[in-house]
Amino acid sequence: MLFKKIVPQRLLHEGLFLSAEKSPDKVAVIAEGHSYTYSELVDSVLKLSNALMLRGFVRGDRCVIYMDNTWPCVVSIYATLLSGGVFVVVNPQTKKDKLEYILNDCSASTLITDAHLHNVFSEVVDEVRSLKCVITSGDMSEIDSSAIEAFDDVVNESSGVFPYTAGIANDLSALIYTSGSTGNPKGVMHTHSTMVFALNSLIEYLRLSSEDRLLVVLPLAFDYGLYQLLMSVQLGATLVLERSFTYPAQIFKRMEEASVTVFPGVPTIFSMLLSMHKRKEISFPSVTRITNTAAALPPDYIDSLKEIFPSALIYKMYGLTECKRVCYLEPELLEKKPSSVGKAIPGTEVFILDAQGNKVLPGETGMLYVRGSHVMLGYWNQEELSDEVLVDGYFPGEKILCTNDWFKMDEEGDLYFQGRSDDIIKTRGEKVSPVEVENVIYGIKGVLEAAVIGVDDEMIGEAVKCFLVIEKGSDLSLMQIKKVCVEKLENFMVPKYFEVVDELPKTNTGKISKKDIK
């Protein structure tokens, strides 16, 4: 009864209340085997939202959610939105220095996290002056700080009345941190308006309905994972939420139990499925759509994927966090255009421009630009970097997004990725900034020079490779270097290959010349 007035939908979380109104007893989320209905989700969201506001959380505050893919993580995302706040989901693989950087960069007022990550966050929370509240889910027995509250207690002690909150569609809803070429991650600013728009466009072309059951094994810190949740809740569908794809047999069991219909993956996951299929045949006939993004799906995967998912349409897509998604190939065109990523998503358009800003002819390569209501507001507190990618559009004051990727288009308007114009590495579906990795390696005593590049790798897109010059007489071993890397970097950023060399090629001005390495 409470939510009938939400028409038309303007705010992201209104989708939750509309779905709960329609089907309160339907399962909203199956998290690691436990089912939660829409009314249970609303109840927990209302309680956590009231609890946050009681602790001083106000409209526009940033709540960093540093958690695994769990039920409390889902509740925290929607409770932040309902409280008028901005959610910032951070990958649980993130190490101390970067977590501290993000908390300070967005001046988070609230941190919601998992107890098993306490080795990382407990050293950081005292260094972040903006933090007013830290809430932790899971087994609290190893946490000795009385300032840290238990998630279940906070939720259970609160009132479940609908809180009064202001907010309009132009408000920020999320900051999504992504690797930048300067080394530090940048917070991509999305509003309720950009996210609701993107969400509905995705739902349209993926042909989703409330009958679907979507699987997420990708981190919710990654917008591709996050949008599975947002789409599912928006539709009143069911989300099957898993922490990771590490233990495939467990995922397969959950997929069968829940008759999953949508399987979003990245090439790494598909290649793992393929190698398991080779060992022993696997098949998921309930799946009607599989989607791929983050890196190109090798065309020779398609036949085996059709064996594994005999009823599925296969979607190849391309996007960037700055606008969520750019384009997709209609699955019916997969055989005809195996290397294309298709056309702009519904309600948006793209252009390929040359260096002078003129449109290029079909077949010619140029820079891809994106126009639509899904484009971000900019990078949080990074005006200069924002201006580099948000450039003048058609109308006075209008901004369009420069993808920094080279593309070409065929006569029918379908797009083909040609390469990146910056040196960001795309590996295992994630972006890696070479500078971020180099900064860590330069911090190791005995390292004289380091250069990080991406090298082609069939399974993971690009593999991170580091060339090193080590000080003469130093007894530094590769093992010691790798150890520092795993302590300071997320797993996907740790170089797969190291090569020690006597010297690195330089430009005339003495800078390391990456294009001469390889």
Partner 1 sequence: MEIESKLRNFILENYLFTDDQSALNNEDSFLDKGIIDSTGILELIFFLEEAFSVVVEDEEMIPDNLDSVMNVVKFVESKA
Q: Which stretch binds partner 1 (CB under 8 A): 41-49, 206-214, 250-258, 292-300?
A: 250-258
**With CB under 8 A, what is the number of residues at the site for partner 1?**
31
Q: Which of 3, 245, 301, 416 binds partner 1 (CB under 8 A)?
A: 245
SS (H, E, C) 229-251: HHHHHHHCCEEEECCCCCCHHHH
CA–CA distance from 187 to each of 40, 316, 516 (Å)?
A: 31, 26, 32
Q: Which stretch binds partner 1 (CB under 8 A): 22-30, 269-277, 340-348, 376-384?
A: 269-277
Residue with smaller CB distance to partner 1, 272 or 391: 272
Does position 282 interact with partner 1 (CB under 8 A)? The reply is: yes
CA 381, distance to chain mean position in Å, is 20
- Cis peptide bond N-terminal to 8, omega within 30: yes
Tell me the angle at which helices 223-235 and 192-205 cross, rounded to the nearest 10 degrees.
Answer: 80
**Of the candidates 110, 54, 102, 43, which has an alpha carbon nearest to the alpha carbon of residue 78?**
43
Residue with smaller CB distance to partner 1, 83 or 271: 271
Residue in the structure block whose two tokens are 């901005």: 86
Does position 269 interact with partner 1 (CB under 8 A)? The reply is: yes
Does position 1 interact with partner 1 (CB under 8 A)? The reply is: no
Does position 4 interact with partner 1 (CB under 8 A)? The reply is: no
Q: Which of 428, 431, 465, 488 binds partner 1 (CB under 8 A)?
A: 428
β partners of residue 193: none
Cα(341)–Cα(81) distance, integer angstroms: 33
Cα(16)–Cα(481) distance, integer angstroms: 47
Cα(231)–Cα(409) distance, integer angstroms: 29
Q: Which of 460, 466, 493, 504 binds partner 1 (CB under 8 A)?
A: 460
User: Which two structure tokens, joined as six digits, stand for 87?
Assistant: 């959610």
SS (H, E, C) 328-371: EECHHHCCCCCCCCEEECCCCEEEEECCCCCECCCCCCEEEEEE
With left for phi above 0 and alpha for psi between -120 and 50, is residue 89 left, alpha or beta?
beta
Q: Which stretch binds partner 1 (CB under 8 A): 18-26, 42-50, 194-202, 479-487?
A: 479-487
Residue with smaller CB distance to partner 1, 276 or 333: 276
Q: Which stretch binds partner 1 (CB under 8 A): 159-167, 356-364, 474-482, 499-507?
A: 474-482
Does position 275 interact with partner 1 (CB under 8 A)? The reply is: yes
Residue with smaller CB distance to partner 1, 204 or 487: 487
Q: Which of 37, 244, 304, 373 binds partner 1 (CB under 8 A)?
A: 244
Q: Which stretch binds partner 1 (CB under 8 A): 274-282, 285-293, 343-351, 387-395?
A: 274-282
Does position 278 interact with partner 1 (CB under 8 A)? The reply is: no
Residue with smaller CB distance to partner 1, 170 or 477: 477
CA–CA distance from 170 to each of 230, 381, 490 (Å)?
A: 18, 17, 33
Q: Which of 3, 252, 416, 498 binds partner 1 (CB under 8 A)?
A: 252
Q: Which stretch binds partner 1 (CB under 8 A): 2-10, 126-134, 275-283, 308-316?
A: 275-283
- Pairing between β-strand 378-379 and β-strand 447-457 as defined by DSSP bridges: unpaired
Residues in 88-107 at the binding interface with partner 1, rule: CB under 8 A: 92-93
Q: Which of 411, 419, 479, 515 binds partner 1 (CB under 8 A)?
A: 479
Tell me the angle at which helices 71-82 and 223-235 cross, rounded to the nearest 10 degrees.
Answer: 70
Does position 448 interact with partner 1 (CB under 8 A)? The reply is: no
β partners of residue 402: 369
Binding site for partner 1 (CB under 8 A): 92-93, 116, 217, 243-250, 252-253, 268-269, 272, 275-276, 279-280, 282, 428, 460, 479-480, 482-483, 485-486, 491
